[in-house]
Structure 1
């Protein structure tokens, strides 16, 4: 009997652990982990000493691997799992695909998803006053506008009729990051729904919602996005 790896994550409302969760379902390996889901309260388990010994940054996801060591940061965990476990190579099967996927993933993470996350923290004080140490409305609004500007570039890229960012038959990791960016843009306090603003991102979002892996990743009904949480089983 194979011992399951220990994975420490958060509910589907939190984009980074959700990127990893979608990745694991797309690769078909989600059932090979004992997943510990933190509640992410300001004084929750993720910032207590047991988790800080594993990941001093106190963020999720964190993966404990078989030799007892730990890997954190979403893309780093995904890369380790993509290379070490069987299944489709989500991050690209060839050096060119891997390079292109990493390029697009960086663009989307830095210029879209992280901008929306920044606005969530500094514009809306999203995790509450005990955790949010900075409120800066100008910075938050600038971040929101930057996310929209760069989302328009991804929308333009998809305008040639491709289903996925690299143009293949199945999504890669950059597509997963874009999907979580759209989901988090629809989180009520963010109120910047990218699918409602861009035609091809809307079609992209609809394609994701039809994928069994995507549906399984949001099965906890804790995304905070009504169209995901209220979906019929």
Structure 2
């Protein structure tokens, strides 16, 4: 793929962690300017759930990437894997087979046990998208997911306690670090009431490191994350 090819990308505001995982990746990779990004309205009558997007991605989720030949790729990790191989630059998913395996291991741990748990609580405990979209309420399951997220965050906190800056111990963040950053951001979304904050000393230091990265700040430039410390920064 040439660097002059502009790809179509369909996302949601930075409040939603999956499009945001991709958006941070694009800035870390240095290819954010290679995309024509369309940010969808997620309301019950919004574009994300209308037929034009459902023809691209019947699951109706974002992000969705359109390739020049008309192929569509969705699911964040799949889109990122494609782009990391298709574009030059450092490999965000790991430079070596070992690092790629370790990055995938940590990404799965964080996505399944922390971020997705918080997302589930957002939907079934807090009805985060409102009653017209949230068809299931389960307070017991939502509370279980909230506690699971905190328990597994404690394991990540312990992993970071040896002084490493990033999960794999290198000088630059990999995709698992990006997933963890979006998990922290979404945990601070006020309705979630599960902030991964200074109670987790090493996670909080990790979060502060991200906020000093220009790529991270650029990815939250829309100031629509719902997290005051990101949206209200100078």
Q: TM-score range by the shorter chain?
A: over 0.9
Per the alignment, residue 125 of structure 1 pairs with: 127
Per the alignment, residue 208 of structure 1 pairs with: 210
Per the alignment, residue 97 of structure 1 pairs with: 99
Q: Distance in 2 between matches of 1:231 and 1:97?
A: 34
Shift of 1:118: 0.3
User: What stretches of structure 1 move > 3 A for 4+ residues in a row?
Assistant: none
Q: Distance in 2 between matches of 1:196 and 1:36?
A: 35
Q: How is 1:154-169 mapped onto 2 (pairs within 5 angstroms)?
A: 154-169=156-171
Per the alignment, residue 178 of structure 2 pairs with: 176
Shift of 1:210: 0.2
Counterpart selection for 1:221 from 220, 223, 232 = 223
Q: Distance in 1 between matches of 2:217 and 2:155?
A: 27
* Helix, strand or coil at the partner of 1:195: coil
Shift of 1:206: 0.1
Per the alignment, residue 200 of structure 2 pairs with: 198
Shift of 1:12: 0.3
Q: Distance in 1 between matches of 2:4 and 2:162?
A: 45
Per the alignment, residue 5 of structure 1 pairs with: 7
Q: Distance in 2 between matches of 1:42 and 1:191?
A: 24
Alignment of 1:141 with 2:135, yes or no, is no
Per the alignment, residue 41 of structure 1 pairs with: 43
Per the alignment, residue 52 of structure 2 pairs with: 50
Q: Aligned-pair RMSD on alpha carbons?
A: 0.8
Q: How is 1:21-40 mapped onto 2 (pairs within 5 angstroms)?
A: 21-40=23-42
* Structure 2 unaligned residues grouped into runs of 5+: none
Shift of 1:40: 0.9
Q: Distance in 2 between matches of 1:120 and 1:39?
A: 18
TM-score, with length taken from structure 2: 0.98
Aligned residues: 232
* Helix, strand or coil at the partner of 1:171: coil
TM-score, with length taken from structure 1: 0.98
Per the alignment, residue 74 of structure 2 pairs with: 72
Q: Distance in 2 between matches of 1:231 and 1:31?
A: 23
Shift of 1:227: 0.3
Shift of 1:87: 1.0
Question: Any idea what the Cα deviations from partners look like across 1:120-163, whole Å, max 9, x if unmatched?
Answer: 00000000111111001110000000000000000000000000
* Helix, strand or coil at the partner of 2:65: strand
